[in-house]
């Protein structure tokens, strides 16, 4: 069985859209294959409206242990230098260069911290 969230990720649509258009909380592989092979009008319209500028889902990968999670990118997310699980210590990541300053952004996905190293001055 596939959850609605997994189906939304595979269809590359927001979870809210999957809910709004009546995707059940769980689907079989056959049900999802049918949607992919014969997309309903709302899914065709969604795909036609894409500009390609902003992804619907991104895969976050911890730079320390390799844990992954698919998440909806947020407008406030900068381009991260590193992403790590929130239980790792900052010292587990490569240190910033001597001419860089490090900023941490908690709350990335469900369990990650985003790290941005930027040049001084």
Phi, psi of 16 (to 5 degrees): -60, -35
φ, ψ at 62 (rounded to 5°): -65, 130
Q: Assign 48 a pLDDT band (cuts: 50, 70, 90).
A: confident
- The tokens for 32 are 């999802």
- Tell me the backbone φ, ψ of residue 44, rounded to 5 degrees: -60, -45
Over residues 94-111, the pLDDT tens digits come to 999 999 999 999 999 999
Residue with tokens 């790792």: 88
pLDDT at site 54: 78
Q: Is the pLDDT of residue 80 over 90?
A: yes
pTM for the full model?
Answer: 0.76
């Amino acid at each position: 069985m596939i959850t609605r969230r997994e189906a939304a990720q595979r269809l590359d649509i927001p979870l809210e859209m999957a809910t709004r258009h009546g995707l059940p909380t769980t689907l079989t592989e056959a049900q999802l294959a049918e949607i992919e092979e014969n997309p309903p009008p709302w899914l065709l319209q969604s795909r036609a409206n894409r500009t390609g500028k902003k992804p619907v889902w991104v895969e976050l990968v911890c730079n320390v242990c390799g844990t992954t999670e698919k998440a909806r990118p947020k407008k406030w997310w900068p381009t991260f230098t590193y992403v790590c699980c929130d239980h790792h210590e900052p010292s587990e990541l490569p240190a910033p260069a001597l001419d860089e300053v490090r900023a941490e952004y908690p709350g990335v996905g469900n369990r990650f911290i985003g790290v941005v190293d930027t040049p001084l001055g």
